[in-house]
Amino acid sequence: MLRSRMATLGVAALVLTACGGGNAAAPQKKTELTLYNDKGAWTKFFDEMGALSKPSIGLGMKPTGYTDSAQYQAFIKASFRTNVKPDLFTWQTGGMLEEIVKQKQVADTTAVWQEAIKAGDLSQDLAPYYTIGGKQYCVPMNVAYWGMFYNKKIFDKYGLQPPQTWDDLIKTADTLKQNGVKAFYHTSVLFSFVWFEQLMAGTDPDLYDRLSTGKAKYTDPGVVQVMERWKQLIDAGYFINPGDKTDPGDVLKTGKAAMVSFGTWFNTSMTQRDLKPGTDYDFFVIPNVNASLPKTSMIFESGPLCSLAKAADPDASMKYLKWWTTAEAQEKWATSRGDVSANPKVTIKDEALGTVTKDAGSGKYRLVNRYFEATPPPILTAALDGFSKFVTEPGAYKEVLETIQKAADEYWSTHQ
């Protein structure tokens, strides 16, 4: 409730500021751009990018980071109606990007993409995530591959190795349980979808894709079986309390849980805690539940960096987006955070993440779009609420699926 009120006040202040500003400011040539984002914890890294871009292309950048996703999205959407506009802003691919593109709020970046692909700075494989109506919008702020971060000291203590099969993973969880260690992290807040997407993609990735396009139902037997498997894992006592508010980085560091499933961006949380890869923690690709699948399914996401169609200085904003895709910018962006890069030219120093990036680019894995981006927003809202309920009331899984399907029916009745 407090957050909602703060968000409302923030948006109201933005509108009042705009209304009180009189006539729109005259067009100007900017030397410093504003970059609004929902990654408040990354302000230090954005600042470093601004310090690098100034001497490189003559444009500085000042970030404004939010930590509450709902408040951030409300701010950006309010800015569409005012004269207080970000020069650059982060967003989500999938339905959320499509929504603001259809409102004609986002600058066309097709020329930037064409040039970057030709120069080898972006992969053609990424383009579909940014393509709407045959044109590209925004550029990749980051890419991330999802897998399992694990506390290496706990694994070493109990003689455990990264699992090669789903059965290996369950045996690992059993060993940890026998020694009084919770195997897995999960949460009832925002990231409640993580285990659903992982179990779906590792069991039947085609069904996962059909769900995202309305060609399958959440009440289909295959989806019900996934929820029942998820329930079995919870009932087995492998997970920590989903209501635990401890930061997942601290959960892994302290050993409250031995394994945390997140995207490669979670590596930043480890390095910020002065943990060393290969010594304090490590990363493995989660094996498929269904061993007969031809490729291991890997959850993939890419977060856009965008400019408004009516930016204060469109040329400057587009120049910055173009620079962001270059090897110079991406080397700094990936290295400072200890993450992977959208630019294939960038060498990833972290051995485990470098291997994942190389293997993903070679076609070893079946890349599956993250549930958060793959699912249309109205369905996603119902699903996040449903999965949050499920992790605290696993017996309610059928009711949860029926509720999500009701939202899906309403959405797809007008969007097929």
Q: What is the pLDDT of residue 14?
A: 40
Query: Each residue of 233-259: pLDDT tens digit?
Result: 999 999 999 999 999 999 999 999 999
Decide if pLDDT at 6 tops 50: no
Q: What is the pLDDT of residue 27?
A: 60
Closest Cα to residue 89, out of 405, 348, 310, 252? 310
As a whole number of angstroms, the distance between CA 205 and CA 193 comes to 15
Q: What is the pLDDT of residue 12?
A: 41
pTM of the model: 0.81
Please provide the DSSP assignment of 314-342 as one string: HHHHHHHHHHHTSHHHHHHHHHHHT---S
Q: What is the pLDDT of residue 26?
A: 56
Closest Cα to residue 38, out of 1, 70, 2? 70
Q: Mean pLDDT: which of 64-78, 287-301, 353-367 is highest?
A: 287-301
What is the mean predicted confidence (pLDDT) over 28-36?
A: 93
Cβ count near 329 (within 10 Å): 22
What sign does the dihedral 47-51-56-62 (CA atoms) show?
A: positive
pLDDT averaged over every residue in the chain:
91
Q: What are phi and psi of 231, to 5 degrees?
A: -60, -40
- Within the chain, all domains assigned CATH 3.40.190.10 are found at 32-143+302-363, 145-298+371-413
Q: What is the pLDDT of residue 23?
A: 47
Decide if pLDDT at 395 tops 90: yes
To the nearest whole percent, how much of the chain has pLDDT over 90?
Answer: 80
8 Å CB contact between 267 and 66 = no
- CATH code at 145-298+371-413: 3.40.190.10
Q: What is the pLDDT of residue 15?
A: 38
> Which helix (DSSP H) or strand (DSSP E) does residue 302 occupy?
strand 296-306
Decide if pLDDT at 7 tops 50: no
Query: Each residue of 274-331: pLDDT tens digit?
Result: 999 999 999 999 999 999 999 999 999 999 999 999 999 999 999 999 999 999 999 9
Closest Cα to residue 155, out of 255, 268, 262, 266? 255
Q: What is the pLDDT of residue 261?
A: 98
Pull the structure tokens for residue 157: 């203590």
Decide if pLDDT at 20 tops 50: no
CATH class entry, domain 32-143+302-363? alpha beta
Q: What is the pLDDT of residue 377?
A: 87
Decide if pLDDT at 356 tops 70: yes
Q: What is the pLDDT of residue 30?
A: 95
How does residue 361 score in pLDDT terms, banded at 50, 70 and 90? Answer: confident
Q: What is the pLDDT of residue 46?
A: 97
Q: Going along 104-253, which residue ranges are E strands?
A: 131-132, 135-136, 139-151, 182-184
Pull the structure tokens for residue 317: 């904003």
Decide if pLDDT at 225 tops 70: yes
Q: For the chain, give the number of residues.
A: 416
Q: What is the pLDDT of residue 95?
A: 85
How does residue 192 score in pLDDT terms, banded at 50, 70 and 90? Answer: very high
DSSP letter (8 states) at residue 288 = P
How does residue 359 score in pLDDT terms, banded at 50, 70 and 90? Answer: confident
Q: Which amino acid is at 14?
A: L
How does residue 362 score in pLDDT terms, banded at 50, 70 and 90? Answer: confident
Closest Cα to residue 276, out of 176, 351, 358? 351
8 Å CB contact between 60 and 53 = yes
> Which helix (DSSP H) or strand (DSSP E) does residue 345 occupy?
none
